[in-house]
Amino acid sequence: MGLLAAIAAVPAVAQPLPGDFVFLREVDPSIQQDIRYAGANNFMGRRIEGYDGAECIVKRAVGLALREVQRGLRAQNLSLKMLDCYRPARASRDMVAWAQDGRETAAERRYNPGFSKQELFRLGYIAERSGHSTGAAVDLTLVDLAAPRGPAFDPGKAYADCTAPAALRAPEASVDMGTGYDCSDAKAHTASRAISPQQRRWRETLNAAMSRQGFVNYAKEWWHFSRPGMSGLSAYDFPVPRHRGD
């Protein structure tokens, strides 16, 4: 075998992650992942800057805590589904620029039906700096493992806005929390009373499972949790890579 052929035959090895970050799939492969900013199924309608791979990356301590959450949920035939984890700082800058670009499509408006996207920054739904960039914050939901998976997201379909009944809004293959993910609306506030008793129970189930392992929910977003005491960590801006096994 020639030298070039020998080099080509050696599998590529990904560079180690910095700052005690880990791939969540290596900590607990049973936790489902749908990293929404790595594709088109999100409020910007495209891949967001810095998401080279659709991978959940977190600080090691966060990953170990999520593994314990998952273990507790298995007895209820439930699973976590990660929607966003570590977020490069460049992604937050991309979001801010998008919110201020003066354009808004109908598909984008599904995520903020009550006001224009220019208001997202002022109202605190988009920030120049995000706790996600420290690796200590996550967005996630629950999957009922006994339920049918449901239809896949169709980027060409005109779905109802994120506050509509689950059958009308974009499918997410998860339990019905009362709104879709990244819904900038009061109905997405964790303690909202504008949802059904069953939807409220799902939110309470998620909140209780996460709080038992030290996570704290952000009151405006039922899906957002972080670890207290880690807020002083440095923000990072390395791109989310593809996993070495891909």
In a domain, 240, yes or no: no
Q: Annotated binding residue at 224?
A: yes
How confident is the model at residue 1, as a pLDDT?
37
pLDDT in tens, the chain (246 residues): 343 343 333 333 455 798 899 999 999 999 999 999 999 999 999 999 999 999 999 999 999 999 999 999 999 999 999 999 999 999 999 999 999 999 999 999 999 999 999 998 888 888 888 899 999 999 999 999 999 988 999 989 999 999 999 999 999 999 999 999 999 999 999 999 999 999 999 999 999 999 999 999 999 999 999 998 765 678 999 999 987 765
In a domain, 30, yes or no: yes
Q: Annotated binding residue at 243?
A: no
Task: Give Cα 115 distance to the centre of its chain.
Answer: 22
In a domain, 118, yes or no: yes
Query: Is 85 within 8 Å of 57 (Cβ atoms)?
Result: yes
In a domain, 78, yes or no: yes
In a domain, 67, yes or no: yes
Could you give the CA distance from residue 221 to residue 43 in angstroms, rounded to a whole number?
15
CA 34, 38, 40, 43 torsion-angle sign: positive
Q: What pairs with residue 51 in β-bridges?
A: 240
Catalytic: which of 49, 55, 172, 221? 221
In a domain, 84, yes or no: yes
Could you give the CA distance from residue 138 to residue 56 in angstroms, rounded to a whole number?
9
In a domain, 237, yes or no: no
Q: Annotated binding residue at 189?
A: no
Q: Is 128 a catalytic residue?
A: no
Domain that holds residue 216: 17-226
CATH number, position 107? 3.30.1380.10
Could you give the CA distance from residue 91 to residue 126 in angstroms, rounded to a whole number?
11
In a domain, 96, yes or no: yes
pTM of the model: 0.91
State the total domains in the chain: 1
